[in-house]
Structure 1
Amino acid sequence: MTKKLLFIACLFISIARVANADDSQKIVSKVQKVTLFLNGAQVTRTSPVNLAPGTSTLVFENISPGIDVQSIQVRAAGDFTILSVKHELNYLNEQAKQKHVDELQTQQKALNDKISLLNYALTINQEEYNMLVKNQVVSGQNSNLDVLKLKQALDYQTIRLTEIKKKEQTINNQVADLNVQQQRFAKQINDVLRGSSAVTSNILVTVSSKVAAQAQFMLTYLVNNANWYPTYDIRAKNVNSPITISYKANVSQQSGEDWKNVKLTLSTGNPTVSGSKPELSPYYLNYGMYYSGQQSAITKVTGRVFGQDDRLPLPGVAIRIKGTSIGTQTDAAGNYSIQVPNSSAILEYSFIGYEKMERTATVPVLNIGLKASSQQLNEVVVTGYSSIEGYLQGKAAGVNVQSSPGSAAEIRIRGAASIQSTPIEVQQVENQTNVEFNIANPYSVPSDGKQYLVEINEVNTDATYQYFVAPKLSTDVFLTARITDWNKYNFLSGEANLFFEGTFIGKSLIDTHATADTLNLSLGTDRNIVVTRTLQKDLTEKQGFGSNKKETRDWLITVKNRKNQPVNLLLEDQVPVSQNSAIEVETQDVSGAQMDKLTGKLSWSQNLKPQEEKQLHLKYQVKYPKNQLVIVQ
């Protein structure tokens, strides 16, 4: 009896210990603030918590599965102690899907049912066709059959077989139409589920409190699958107006958690870049060592991105210049175009469900085939582009998307339809190592990997307009705008869309790595300023008694302003520069141009009145040994 009581007591103690060990409290937290870096984001969650006396574990659920565990911080104020913080993945609590996914899947199932019924009808139709063909053979072997009846039977079979074939064609057409619709629904469901994952994570916080208490807990952590890059709209009304620069951010994230109505801060910092300072290694020279020459200049890379398995275009692929803030994405046909700062730039291609790829911008055209990632494809089915953006409702500054299945997404860009829109309130904070843009309006950024446009700033600045031409290279005259003190606006490197007189004229690149205080922008060509460059005479003087040959070049440059207003034109040309003491270059006539003797560059600054024409002469002579070959242009 005593042993039995002792066993029961031990059992109760064990149950009590198990109960205490499982004394956990599930906490629902909300994302309040997100600081988005060029790569990565710091997420801040808050939640009020009622603490019971004793030791308990607070389980903060539905956290992003891709967090940096070392970055987790927990803050709370009160008469209690935080004993430990732990992170764990949760494979049982699947992320909540957007509600319209079930509706799309229901409609997709209805289409599949229709296709199945039509396939059954097609099978029955084929069986009837086979039976008629078989009876036709049997009837033809029956010699006792009346000829009239035989003719009637053959006529019936002909009519019926024709009807069966027509019905078969109709069913096939219906099945083909339904298959197209079914594929669209499959692509749309994939588009909605993009970025979803069957795993979340929990943050377990163990606390000890002597008394019951209430506290506000704050969790911060870093997620990696988030980024932003800048783009600009540069507008000039005419050559007498200031330049308007719209500073915008393209925001995207696939962290596994949606950011709904959060306070968004954009930071120019990049926590993924190493914080260790570089160290110089010895610079050794030896025989046989050489350095390759300068690569050809590449300022823009274009191409197409597709899947390696099906060769179908991939829309929405994120493309970034590695180590910079320059980025873009592919269009509906998988095409892209991106400005590059130099020919050694490395392009990064990333897309959900596919492996990331890097390519060096050594050629102006790069077509990329992305390889499907087996790990990610286990979670989400990736298909081609669908014209149905449908059922998506996104909201970000400047972009509103609302559509339904069967209709193209309607995109409205704030400020594009009406110039009277209210600008976004943004506060710039310049820290020691980065700049932060605190957006006043709350934002929602779903975890779908799509680009959401956020307006940062809009500035009006004076510009100096000047026409430019280098007739040796091209006789096209370009209108340029020079902006001074542009560094004070805290711009990052990025692509710029150029608009002049209300018309889109192309793209340019704002490269913040340049040390000059003046930013030069090209605003397109002007056909009303005509420039020609003509060789007047080609003289080769030979000295019969000497050992040298002389060649003279005389160029006539004509400039005419056909505009009804005066223009300021900068014209550049050049004379050759000798790199050998045996070759002598004599400049004979440059029409008062400024000359750089080291490079041979000539510059003329001309003020042309309306309908005025001017002529400039460029004449030089080259002397070199006549037993050598020198090509003189």
Structure 2
Amino acid sequence: MEYLKILFFMTGALMYGQNTFTKATVKSVNVYYNVAEIYQTIKTDVPEGISEIVVNNISNELMEESIQLSPSSNASIISVQYTTDYGKEYNQSNDAVMKIQDSIKEIEDIVDKLDITKSTYLKTIELLDKNKATYEISTTEGIKLDVPGLIKLIDYYNTKRIELNDKIFLIDRQKEQYVLTLDKLIKKRKLNPEEQNKKSTGKLIIQLLSSKAETVSVGIKYLTSNASWYPMYDLEIKETNKPINLVYKAVVAQKTGIEWDNVKLTFSSGNPDLYNQAPVLKAWILKYVDSEYLKSLQRAFKDQVMKLNTIQSIIGETNLKNEEYNINTSINENQLNISFDADIPYTIASNGKPYNIRLAENSMPATYKYYAVPKLDSEVYLMAEVSQYSNYYFLRGEANITINGDYVGKTIIDPNQISDVLHLSIGKDKRVNVKREKVKELTSTKLFSSYNESVFTYDISVRNNKNTEIAVQLKDQYPLSSSNDITIDLLETDHANDNKELGVLTWILNLKPNETKKVRVSYKIKYHKDKVLNL
């Protein structure tokens, strides 16, 4: 009976106070480059007056200043606090939670005592069985049988065993009731790991004022830095006289502690800025600085750049084991950024692993040409030029290139250009060859009394081993003078287009299948005889 009184008291603790524990559900996520805006909802019953709602399944990290709450009813939000350690920060100051916690401890103690009592009864039954077995053995070994004693022993054994089994049965029934109550209390506190997302430690403590007892829905929106994405593309080429099949992709990862389960995803360029203060110019005062101090700053800056390049190199070589998914996407552009809205729900686990999402496809007309700079590289590159590329909503990112289904490499799509044409390097074509050779008999150096005169002559040949006609843009260069006592004269260019500011020569060569063409460039340099040039 005492156990039942305690059980009724513990059950009453479930009804104590006006605290409500609930779990937030993720509805949509807007992922920026290094930040995500998560939208979640809760729906719970609240009494009349002020109540406190403890919301689980909130990101492990969030920007508290970005929290926005939108109740659906006439209820008013009084305050909101974020915590990742609710037990330590709030349990000691909350009477309702303390009562529940005390009840859990008392029930756990009672269950332990019941287990001890049951174990004692089981040991007693075991002892009775051993004594009975000992008596039976002694009678079978010729010891005189005491019939009245045997009858008393059997009666005692049966009576005692039934009594102990009845007690064990009652203990099991009591324990079932206590365990059931204990589970309800634990669920009230949301401490059961099966009922709570193990990865999420974030909670929102919402104080809410309601004019009546009702069911309240609250929308929750906030920013977290534990998610990111970057754009990637596939350039699928079948023929150089057909448009490129452009595939938009998003590589997204998150470790917010909450699962994005079947949620609407949006991928946005840039990052939201919590401090949108426009810059203001102030007076620019010139003053002298120590030259050694300035040099130390320059060295420090150079070291930082080298470290950054090393980090980028390491990141670039990382192999991503992506999961790839195909979804339909809407592309939106406003005054500040570009966003890609996934038209179907999507699931991203909170494990930090990259998920490769296929967003959309587009047919992109392009003009193809071959490009070669044999002074720097003996390979011939296939280039694609895309006009009006702003129509394709490009963001800067890597592109994987396939030609007729074969992977040929990567290129960078960078839409941040002044040019009206986007230039894409598709890859090297082994079926087009280029060779740059010095013509020895036309290359010489002559020594005069006050100056030296050097002549350089090169032949550049290009061969088309393909079965289609191609156009090759060929480039070479000649040096430019940095001093009045250095003069350069072009002797031969084979009708190249001459960019005199850069010293770059350009030829456009139309080659039929299996055709070879050759151009020649020759220049003369006159310079002071006692000086050495960086030839």
TM over 0.5: yes
Aligned partner of 2:426: which letter?
L
1: CA distance between counterparts of 2:303 and 2:410? 20
8 Å Cα contact 2:57-2:200 kept in structure 1: no
Alignment of 1:454-465 (within 5 A): 454-465=357-368
Q: Which amino acid aligns with 1:540?
A: T
- Which residues in structure 2 correspond to 1:206-605 (within 5 Å)? 206-271=207-272, 275-277=276-278, 288=291, 359-361=307-309, 366=314, 399=323, 413=324, 424-536=327-439, 537-543=442-448, 546-605=449-508
| CA–CA distance in structure 1, aligned partners of residues 274 and 504 of structure 2 | 40
CA contact (8 A) 1:40 1:272 kept: no
Shift of residue 228 of structure 1?
A: 0.8
Q: 2:49 aligns with which of 46, 54, 58?
A: 54
Shift of the 246–58 alpha-carbon distance from structure 1 to 2, 3 Å rule, reads same
Letter in 2 for 1:79: N
Deviation at 1:32, TM superposition (A): 0.9
Indicate the residue corresponding to 2:33 in structure 1.
Answer: 38
Distance 1:48 1:365, change over 3 A: closer
Q: Give runs of aligned pairs for residues 155-194 of structure 1, distance below 5 A.
A: none
* Amino acid across the alignment from 2:249: K
Aligned-partner SS, 1:361: helix
- Please, what TM-score do these two structures have when normalized by structure 2? 0.68
Equivalenced residue count is 405
Which consecutive residues of structure 2, in runs of 5 or more, have no partner in the other structure?
1-12, 89-196
State the SS of the aligned residue for 1:475. coil
Query: CA separation in 2, counterparts of 1:495 and 1:273?
Result: 29
- Residue 620 of structure 1 is matched in structure 2 by 523
Where 2:225 maps in the other structure, the secondary structure is strand
Matched with 1:73 is 68
Cα distance, 1:456–1:92 mapped onto 2, change above 3 Å: same
Instruction: Quote the residue 1:26 is aligned against.
Output: 21
> How far 1:622 sits from its partner (Å)?
0.9
- Structure 1 contact 91–199 (Cα < 8 Å) conserved: no
Q: What displacement does 1:573 show? A: 0.4
The answer to whether the Cα contact below 8 Å between 1:51 and 1:209 also exists between their aligned partners in 2 is: yes
Contact 1:590–1:619, Cα closer than 8 Å, also in 2: yes
CA gap 1:199/1:516 in 2 versus in 1, 3 angstroms? same
Matches of 1:627 and 1:88 in 2, distance apart? Answer: 76
Match of residue 82, structure 1, among 71, 77, 81:
77
What is the DSSP-based 3-state SS (H/G/I as helix, E as strand, rest coil) of the residue aligned with 2:35? strand
SS at match of 1:360: helix
Distance 1:33 1:586, change over 3 A: same
In the alignment, is the contact (CA less than 8 A) between 1:87 and 1:202 conserved in 2? yes
Query: Which amino acid is the alignment partner of residue 237 of structure 1?
Result: K
- SS of the counterpart of 1:447? coil
Greater relative CO (CA pairs within 8 A, separation 6+): 2
Q: Name the structure 2 match of 1:303.
A: none
Q: Relative to 1, partners in 2 of residues 1:435 and 1:528: Cα closer, same or farther, differing over 3 Å?
A: closer
Distance 2:342 2:199 in 1: 32
Deviation at residue 258 of structure 1 after TM alignment:
0.8
Aligned residues with identical type, % of pairs: 31
RMSD: 3.4
Note the alpha carbon deviations across 1:265-297, whole angstroms, 9 max, x for none: 1111313686455667656676847789x99xx
CA pair 73-630 structure 1, distance change in 2 beyond 3 A: closer
* Structure 1 spans left out of the alignment, 5+ residues: 1-17, 94-195, 296-342, 348-358, 369-384, 390-397, 400-412, 415-422
